[in-house]
A and B are shown apart, each in its own frame.
Chain A
């Protein structure tokens, strides 16, 4: 009898496991793709050829994919992009591995790592300026359903920033669009520095530098390192600060003490010699402390007055 029960339990368990696997296969067909590198930046002279490798890791279902290359332009101040899917410029680009054309389908097996090699052949007569592209990998898998449905196609991209120039150090020029902080703040709050940088030239750059905050009373100095984020040609970007590997707001984190805070912005473009500078001053006053003290004073005065009135009444 015991053997029969054990046999029954084992069979039941196997059936349940099999059933669960079938369900996940039927309803959980997913798209999952990783790409490396996420960004490639190339300074190249006209008439030159270069190749770049990409690694794709498929963690979801395998299947058919296609590759596309679209130009993009910066959109907004936070590094967003606006893909132009109407004007493919494939004449510069070709695929060495796999040997297919853009838009052609190729197979990526489930759980596999695939290497894609892109060749970039910059024509000799091309204008010397920046060109920005996104290499897009698109799932072409379809699941036929006998009912009304939407099919989803996942697409993942990697950005390609190409500066075409004969000059090793192309001309770069920036404008400090905004460097600001509150004029007066409460002593118990943080000071937030807002920095928007504008590229008014035709070549991208990264700001290399810092915000140095100096308390003019205590002489205490704090450095906030700027994140070396790319500012693309003829665009603006909000520049964050860097703490270890994280992008953070440029805040004076420690509780601000009473006094005058002078923040000096100092940076160069890609470490070149020209230094860009700006300053803002913030006055920290203990408003919240004054309010607390005022409330305490009012309460104390009221209590004392009430006691005095009671004593006068009692004396009478």
Chain B
């Protein structure tokens, strides 16, 4: 048993430099805590054991010491395009999309969102401004948006690990607008280790009869990052 474990560890040692070495670059490549009567390896498989390097006397600590499962950190967005169709004045359009995060191999996670700019006609100035909801809302705080004479572009969230201000399906926020020097805001987060967490983003656009006709577009960026 001991020999097998040593062989497994050596087989993974692939990355070296003259002064330095990282063993087993891929984390979470095994499952369980291997033990025998004479030997116990209480660390993530694929994780370099803590301790001095024979070559330099320096150490590398890597991975999450408390997670032994083989679950990579993964992120899925159900669709890369959100078509709003032909926009009609005072007729809100809503489209849903799902975000799924598997953070089983990481100690928690966060997903942030931002837009490159409000919906606008490419190469032209007309924009559909980010919504102010019925009264007020921002990229940080959601507000109720259910009146058909309130215009703009925003999003609602429902599901796992979403911000608490999305009280129900009538609450909307603006996306953080990079063109206005706003920074990405967290839309999903958890400090726990989960296998699969899903949230639904519902995009909403509503225009007035004064809105110039055209093809309005923008890009929304979702960034999923594990915890440290």
Point out residues on A near B: beta carbons under 8 Å: 27-45, 48-55, 57, 59-61, 74, 78-81, 83, 85, 132, 134, 136, 138-139, 141-143, 145-159, 161, 168, 206, 227-230, 232, 238, 240, 242, 245-247, 270-271
Q: Which chain A residue has the least Cβ–Cβ distance from B97? A: A152
- Once the chains are docked, how many angstroms separate the CA of A149 from the CA of B203? 10
Q: Which chain A residue has the least Cβ–Cβ distance from B186? A: A80
Q: Show 12 A/B contacts (Cβ-Cβ < 8 Å), sorted by A.
A: A36-B105, A52-B22, A53-B14, A57-B72, A80-B227, A148-B86, A148-B214, A151-B218, A152-B222, A242-B66, A247-B108, A247-B191
Q: Which residues of B contact A271 (CB under 8 A)?
A: 50
Given contacts A43-B59, A53-B26, contact A48 B19 (CB under 8 A): yes
B132 on interface, CB distance cutoff 8 Å: no
Asked if A168 and B59 sit within 8 Å, CB to CB, the answer is yes
B123 on interface, CB distance cutoff 8 Å: no
Asked if B20 and A158 sit within 8 Å, CB to CB, the answer is no
- With beta carbons under 8 angstroms apart, the residue of B56, B73, B222 that contacts A153 is B222
Point out residues on B near A: beta carbons under 8 Å: 14-15, 17, 19-20, 22, 25-29, 46, 50, 52, 56-69, 72-87, 97, 102-103, 105-108, 110, 112, 115, 119, 183-184, 186, 189, 191-193, 203, 205, 214-228
Q: Which residues of B contact A229 (CB under 8 A)?
A: 107
Q: Which residues of A contact B223 (CB under 8 A)?
A: 83, 136, 155-157
Asked if A149 and B191 sit within 8 Å, CB to CB, the answer is no
A207 to chain B, nearest CB (A): 12
Q: Which residues of B contact A28 (CB under 8 A)?
A: 78-79
Given contacts A33-B74, A34-B72, A38-B226, contact A153 B219 (CB under 8 A): yes
- Once the chains are docked, how many angstroms separate the CA of A142 from the CA of B72? 26
Asked if A31 and B105 sit within 8 Å, CB to CB, the answer is no
Q: Which residues of A contact B225 (CB under 8 A)?
A: 81, 83, 134, 136, 156-157, 159
- Once the chains are docked, how many angstroms separate the CA of A150 from the CA of B83? 7
Q: Which 4 A-B pairs have the closest CB atoms?
A: A37-B27, A79-B227, A34-B74, A78-B191
Given contacts A152-B97, A245-B67, contact A44 B83 (CB under 8 A): no
Q: Which residues of A contact B97 (CB under 8 A)?
A: 152
- With beta carbons under 8 angstroms apart, the residue of B61, B69, B74, B80 that contacts A43 is B61
Asked if B105 and A206 sit within 8 Å, CB to CB, the answer is no
- Once the chains are docked, how many angstroms separate the CA of A139 from the CA of B189? 21
The CB with the most chain A CB atoms within 10 A, among B77, B103, B115, B119, is that of: B77
* Apart from A29-B80, A53-B25, A78-B189, 5 more pairs, CB < 8 Å: A43-B59, A50-B15, A151-B82, A206-B65, A228-B65
- Once the chains are docked, how many angstroms separate the CA of A241 from the CA of B83? 45
Q: Which residues of B contact A145 (CB under 8 A)?
A: 81, 83
- With beta carbons under 8 angstroms apart, the residue of B22, B83, B108, B119 that contacts A42 is B22
B124 to chain A, nearest CB (A): 13
Asked if B107 and A79 sit within 8 Å, CB to CB, the answer is yes
Q: Which residues of B contact A246 (CB under 8 A)?
A: 192-193
Asked if A158 and B73 sit within 8 Å, CB to CB, the answer is yes
Asked if A149 and B58 sit within 8 Å, CB to CB, the answer is no
A84 to chain B, nearest CB (A): 9
Asked if B60 and A36 sit within 8 Å, CB to CB, the answer is no
Q: Which residues of A contact B15 (CB under 8 A)?
A: 50-53
A160 to chain B, nearest CB (A): 9
B224 to chain A, nearest CB (A): 5
- Once the chains are docked, how many angstroms separate the CA of A75 from the CA of B193? 19
- Once the chains are docked, how many angstroms separate the CA of A145 from the CA of B219? 13
